[in-house]
Amino acid sequence: MYFCVLFLIILAACENTPVSPNSPPVENTADLSPEPCHSKTTYDIHKGASVTWRVQKTIGEADETTLTGLTGVEGQLTLDKSSWANARARFHFTSQSTESGNAVRDQRLENYIFGGSTFQFDLTGIQGADLGRSAGDSKIVLIRGILSLAGQTTQIELPALLIETEDQISITPAETFTLNLRAFQPAPNGLNLISHITKLLALVPGVQIKDEVRIDFNLELFSSCAEAKIQPPIAEDQRPDLTPDLPDSKEPDLLQLGLTLYQTRCASCHLAKAESNHHDLRASDILDHYARNFPTHIDVVWPTEEEAYAIQKVFEAR
């Protein structure tokens, strides 16, 4: 009986004992490691991606020349984690240039057709013998979707090669892909913009334009988790001194450089300041921001140490 009472007293004392602020935290044994990128479901078109199109124009009976155009691409691809079966995507194509051998015609195409309208592609399905997903895999599938321009639409079936790595997907034509312009249905309001395009292409007397357009592309899409692979912040005692050794006469030029950079990198600078623990923005904070958020983005130009210091001077002067 004595031992039972003693045990209860000890148990009550343990339950009421305050936790010391210096006590080590309880370890979480759950597996919190991030999923690999290829298991993520959202992929974004790589900035700067483009599609090249070619139309044959015939002069006389044998002579053929090629009209070429370049369009930029934006969009997003959504996938199941383990299969391509339910893939969905919407891509927008905006003209960047047209080369038809006639400057007046090129200008009209840009101003009145491509400049005011955007091609849109909606992925409706992917077919193939094996639609499973895994990093390092490649396969040929049939991509189906709807291409539209200003309300005019046409169904597309495109044999494509899919290549998937841990955090990137590449989509290219598996064979020559041609699009018949006459296949576009008129818009509900009766507008037939495609007809206007072919008329504009045929402005030069004696030139006939073929209806088929050959399209080449290499779309690269990056997983959203690739951007999340951020580097840990640099410890305070390991931060380099980025203050350049400049003569006093160069300070005004440096401030002007900082003002110019501030206008183009304003958002990134404020984000860098918000991410840092300092009251004032330092050059090292700016470089840390780019290193953490854009570690593998080849299309993002990092500021140099001098440029980062110039931006720091602008914040100091504000």
Write out the chain in H/E/C secondary structure: CHHHHHHHHHHHHHHCCCCCCCCCCCCCCCCCCCCCHHHCCEEEECCCCEEEEEEEEEECCCEEEEEEEEEEEEEEEECCCCECCCCEEEEEEEEEEEECCCHHHHHHHHHHHHHHCCEEEEEEEEECCCCECCCCEEEEEEEEEEEEECCEEEEEEEEEEEEECCCEEEEEECCCEEEEHHHCECCCCCCCHHHHHHHHHCCCCCEEEEEEEEEEECEEEEEHHHHCCCCCCCCHHHCCCCCCCCCHHHHHHHHHHHHHHHHHCHHHHHHHHHHCCCCCCCHHHHHHHHHHHCCCCCCCCCCCHHHHHHHHHHHHHC
Domain that holds residue 78: 38-225
pLDDT top residue among 177 and 7? 177
Q: How confident is the model at residue 54 (pLDDT cuts 50, 70, 90)?
A: confident
Give the domain-ending residue among 199, 225, 251. Answer: 225
Is residue 175 located within the same domain as residue 201? yes
Asked whether residue 208 falls in the same domain as residue 247, the answer is: no
User: Do the beta carbons of residue 303 and residue 266 sit within 8 Å?
Assistant: no
Residues 245, 135: one domain?
no
Report in angstroms the alpha-carbon separations of 76 from 13, 207, 224, 266. 60, 39, 10, 26
Predicted TM-score of the model (pTM): 0.55
Q: Are residues 158 and 247 in the same domain?
A: no
Give residue 204's pLDDT.
54
For the chain, the domain total comes to 2
d(CA 278, CA 280): 5
Residue type, 280: D
What pLDDT band is residue 203 in, cutting at 50, 70 and 90? low
* Same structural domain, 127 and 218: yes
- The better pLDDT of the pair 304, 52 is held by 52
In this structure, what CATH number is given to the domain that contains residue 217? 2.40.128.110
pLDDT digits (tens, 9 = 90+) for 258-268: 555 555 555 55
What pLDDT, in 10s, does the model give residues 89-127? 999 888 778 777 777 767 766 766 566 667 889 999 999
Q: Is there a single domain that holds both residue 198 and residue 60?
A: yes
What is the distance between the alpha carbons of residues 311 and 318, in angstroms, rounded to a whole number? 11
Tell me, yes or no, whether 70 and 168 share the same domain.
yes
46: amino acid identity, one letter: H
